[in-house]
Amino acid sequence: MDANAPSMQEFDVVIAGGAMAGATLALSIEQLTQGQLSIAVVEAAIPNHSHPGYDARSIALSYGSSQLLASLGLWKALSPFATAIEHIHVSDKGHFGLTEMHAKDEGVESLGSVIELADAGRVFHAALTSSKTVTLFCPAFVTDIHRTVDDVTLTLNDSNKIRTKLVIAADGATSSCCQMVGIDRHEHDFEQVALIANVTTAMPHQGKAFERFTESGPIALLPMSEGRSSLVWCAKPKQASELLKLSDNAFIDALQRTFGWRLGKILHVGERNSYPLVLRQTTQLISHRFAVVGNAAQTLHPIAGQGFNLGLRDVVTLAEEIANAHHSGEDVGGMALLQQYLERREPDRNATVAMTSGLVHGFSNTSAPLILGRNLGLAAMSVCSELKAPLLQRAMGLVER
């Protein structure tokens, strides 16, 4: 439903941000409460409706994430756009260590899926606009947050005002809503830049994902539709700047030297983009009548593809707690609910941040003893499933929340 009337409107829950995290949260709350709560989503950007082609960004959804989305009735609309990851190949460039993971060995159809953000954006935007219990303010953004003991009043950029019991920040890595309520964030610069592009290779990917560690950072190729692969190449800033300036053919040559020939000759590369890699973590996940989810709560290094999957676990956990409070007749913006969300999320959040940051620093280190140690570890995992299990479980998103 559309929101056009410029007046004070009241909702049970307001979500700032309607991209993947915010949209999933709104639809999850709707599903878990059988549409008994009124929800507003405030989103600044209208999804791009042009065909993404080679120039779309993609996300890797773990097996656990697709299961979560399926349990909420949201996977059916996304699955037609998903490319299954059936194998994962992990290696250390120039060294002997490597390990592989196979869906069939784990008794599942896939270890995860790759979806282009443009496709996901269209699916979720359509679901939000057709919902009977979600009101979408788009394009719009929050300019002021005023909290009292019992409720919160938000002012939008068009001077509309919204009153609610609970505000949820899902407005990205540099969340303005968090700034408005005084929630700080810690930042750690990995001193790397991620280059992203879509590529076509001579050999079909056959559902295989690659993660290759190099001295300057990891490089990943993820299987996509139409035989393409999604490239994420993490490099030092100077190297990344030089790579961006190369012609397509020169870039392909550099990529071929770094990645190797596991998919044969690299034939085509789409538009290249880049972004700096910085770990950002809010100092708090909750405040008075305020919660934080997704990239607004934490943005991770793309190594091991954990970012959105961690954010999705935030989203589903918070939706569950809101539904529990509602069904129990409790305040859906109360501190009891928020404290329960915090206690459920902190262990997973801390463990995932520690794992991804540890992998970045461990595999970028050129110390001979550390190189030997990590390659012995990869080699051991290739022959011992018990050693591989913890990494595989987290890669598949099968973690407690």
Per-residue pLDDT of the chain (401 residues; tens, 9 = 90+): 455 555 789 999 999 999 999 999 999 999 999 999 999 999 998 775 443 344 458 999 999 999 999 999 999 999 999 999 999 888 876 444 567 888 998 888 999 999 998 889 889 989 999 999 999 999 999 999 999 999 999 999 999 999 999 999 999 999 999 999 999 999 999 999 999 999 999 999 999 999 888 878 889 999 999 999 999 999 999 999 999 999 999 999 999 999 999 999 999 999 999 999 999 999 999 999 999 999 999 999 887 678 899 999 999 999 999 999 999 999 999 999 999 999 999 999 998 888 787 677 555 444 444 444 434 443 444 444 544 456 667 667 777 77
**Under 8 Å between Cβ of 4 and 108:** no
Identify the CA nearest to 392 among candidates 129, 144, 100: 100
Between CA 129 and CA 15 the distance in angstroms is: 15
**Under 8 Å between Cβ of 175 and 22:** no
Please state which CATH number belongs to domain 8-360. 3.50.50.60
Q: Are strands 290-292 and 134-137 parallel, antiparallel or unpaired?
A: unpaired
How far does Cα 347 stand from its chain's mean position? 18
Peptide bond into 139 cis (omega under 30): yes
DSSP per position, 218-245: EEEEEE-GGGEEEEEEEE-HHHHHHHHH
Helix extents (H) in 246-306: 248-259
How far does Cα 152 stand from its chain's mean position? 28
**Under 8 Å between Cβ of 243 and 193:** no
DSSP 303: G
DSSP per position, 332-382: TTSHHHHHHHHHHHHHHHHHHHHHHHHHHHHHH---HHHHHHHHHHHHHHH
Q: Are strands 87-92 and 208-214 parallel, antiparallel or unpaired?
A: parallel
β-bridge partners, 279: 188
> Where in the chain are the domains?
8-360
Residue with tokens 């719009």: 140
**Under 8 Å between Cβ of 32 and 323:** yes
- For residue 254, the SS3 value is helix
β-bridge partners, 102: 87
**Tens-digit pLDDT profile for residues 77-95:** 999 999 999 998 888 764 4
